[in-house]
Copies of this chain bind each other. A is one copy, B any other.
Amino acid sequence: MNGTAKGELSSSLTEKLSRGNVLAKECPSRGILQDVTSRWGVLVLFSLLDGTHRFSELRKKITGISEKMLSQTLQALEADGFVLRIAHPVIPPHVEYRLTDQGGTVARKVGDLVNWIELNLEDILHSQKRFDECKARKES
């Protein structure tokens, strides 16, 4: 019921420099969020957490990603300033990708989430099964 959307931080600190608001339809923060949380964006950030990788290394590491999607998401993350692209002018081409400082920060947050899901996977899968069975019973 006060001016700020969430009670956690007081507006004096929060609104100093124009802060984004993802809950607002037109806010550009939604776009950034999508780059970071997109299907492949998450996995690329997560992969880059353990250091510099070449294009082909990422392709092998992230099973199932296509070249098109890999280059597309790398470009989006580069544009946002989360990933640094270093091209060595040699033949055959040699390009390296690594996280920027900002990228490291987001990647660690994303990695946190990913790790938690990986660890709690069994639990979650059980929940899903229970939910599905419950629904099936009601439909019969």
Binding site for B on A (CB under 8 A): 6-7, 17-25, 28-29, 32-34, 36-39, 42-43, 46-47, 49-50, 61-64, 78-81, 102, 105-106, 109-110, 112-114, 116-125, 127-128, 131-132
Contacts of A39 in B (CB 8 A): 34, 37
From A127, which residue of chain B is reached at the shortest CB distance? B81
Contacts of A127 in B (CB 8 A): 79-81
Taking a contact as CB atoms under 8 Å apart, the answer to whether B33 and A114 are in contact is yes
Taking a contact as CB atoms under 8 Å apart, the answer to whether B109 and A112 are in contact is yes
Contacts of A125 in B (CB 8 A): 28
Chain A: interface secondary structure? Answer: helix
11 more contacts with CB within 8 A, not counting A32-B117, A32-B124, are A6-B49, A6-B50, A7-B50, A18-B122, A28-B121, A37-B39, A79-B132, A81-B127, A81-B131, A106-B116, A109-B113
User: Quick one: which of A61, A117, A125 has the most chain B CB within 10 A?
Assistant: A117
Tell me the complex Cα distance, A80–B42, Å.
19
Taking a contact as CB atoms under 8 Å apart, the answer to whether A120 and B132 are in contact is no
From A13, which residue of chain B is reached at the shortest CB distance? B119
Taking a contact as CB atoms under 8 Å apart, the answer to whether B117 and A113 are in contact is no
Tell me the complex Cα distance, A125–B32, Å.
9
From A63, which residue of chain B is reached at the shortest CB distance? B25
Given known pairs A25-B64, A64-B25, A113-B110, the reply for A102 and B118 (CB within 8 Å) is no
